Amino acid sequence: MRKEFLVFGKPAIEEAEIAEVVDSLRSGWIGSGPKVQRFEQMLGEYVGESEVRCVSSCTAALFLAMKTLGIGAGHEVIIPAMTFVASANAVEHTGAKAILVDVDPETGLIDLDAAEAAITPRTKAIMPVHLWGLPVEMDRVNSIRDRCGIEIIEDAAHALGAEWNGRPIGSFDNLTAYSFYVNKNITTIEGGALVARDSGTATRIEQLALHGLSAGAWQRFSDAGFKHYEATEPGYKFNMTDVQAALGIHQLPRLDRWIDRRAEIWDSYDRDLADLPLTLPAAVPDHVRHARHIYQVRLRPDAGLTRDQLLEELHRRNIGTGVHYRGVHLHPYYRDRDGIDPSSLPNATEISETTLSLPLHSLLTEKDRVDVVEALQEILAQPQRGRRSA
């Protein structure tokens, strides 16, 4: 039994970030300004795309992506049922309808056959989700895009640092959204970014994120001199601040090292949990770089207890866990509005009922990892499973 609770996800905040935040506070410029621009440039260099704009969240990025594509009332956007509900919510906020399709039973990623079959004259886009940091099959995604003449909006909230065939996720000529929420591989506390395909789209994203104004506060009030501005359209308040970007500009250079550390923990989990009644994450193909964001396992029927019972037992032993995710189709709003029978999306439903995520972050020690493994071994030991199922 651990004496201290092991949190599921813990951000690695170092002295450089703290000093950068303090510098922003002392400078008097704490809104969107030069540090946001610097972080955007760094992100662009990292993913190999020059046009990146930072915003307040990945949800905002997804919403703005759809707005720039003219998606709205009367349109449909196809998304996987197994994703965080924010993916669907962003669609709904545009006035369009989220069309849910099932996922691959092994990887949990969007079933691209089902997605293509769901295309109708109202379909404006497909939103593949690079779930848990595992990239969707981008060659097939872009083939559907080109053959069917629809847009692709990549939800890469989990996938900064992931690659498909040697190319970073975000470099496939699609609008691509990232998250920097507190439990992500790098964090700006809250925040996100959107990869645009050209400077015109990037400019519109930037303007929409700040009330539709033709010039942001940094352009209006900096030492370059006051500049008048105009509202080109009614925009939103989705901008990132320099205080947030102050974290990101120091976190991003460490991302690859942190992913490598996560991969070491991942491989150790794979080795030490192999004999338990758990379905472990799908094997990573050689041509894929997994961002290793979430280590997700599924409880097998022979475990002798439910997933929620296992969560409770781990919590009792001071082990924090997560559930990623309860499928969108099981949330009351989407379930009731569309009259969805969970059996119509069997793979997403099965994952929803059996999945749990284990602690995984760059600060996880070997003792922490062993504590997780030993707790699972104790709970899932065969005699105990037999007693629970009796």
As given in the structure block, the two tokens for residue 297 are: 């396992």
Catalytic residue among 35, 67, 124, 184: 184
Alpha-carbon gap, residue 269 to 372, rounded angstroms: 9
Alpha-carbon distance of 390 to 384, in angstroms, equals: 10
CA distances, 297 to each of 56, 82, 198, 310, 353 (Å) = 31, 14, 39, 12, 11
Chain-centre distance for alpha carbon 309: 27
β partners of residue 213: 231
Distance CA 369, CA 359 (A): 8
User: What CA–CA distance (Å, rounded) separates 328 from 41?
Assistant: 34
- What does the buried/exposed string (b/e) look like for 36-71 if buried means 16 or more CB atoms within 10 Å of the residue's CB? bbebbebbbebbebebbbbbbbbbbbbbbbbbbbeb
Q: What is the residue whose two structure tokens read 């989700």?
A: 129
CA–CA separation, 269 and 289 (whole Å): 18
The span from the CA of 356 to the CA of 359, in Å, is 10
Instruction: Please state, in angstroms and as integers, the Cα–Cα distance from residue 107 to each residue in 53, 225, 283, following that order.
Output: 30, 53, 9
For 236, residues 6+ apart whose C-beta sits below 8 A from its C-beta are 60, 63, 64, 208, 209, 210, 211
In angstroms, rounded to a whole number, what is the distance separating the alpha carbons of residues 2 and 20?
35
Concerning whether 184 is annotated as a catalytic residue, the answer is yes
8 Å CB contact between 205 and 189: no
Q: For residue 160, what are the contacts with CB-CB under 8 A and spacing of at least 6?
A: 46, 47, 169, 170, 178, 184, 185, 186, 255, 291
Residues with a catalytic annotation lie at 184
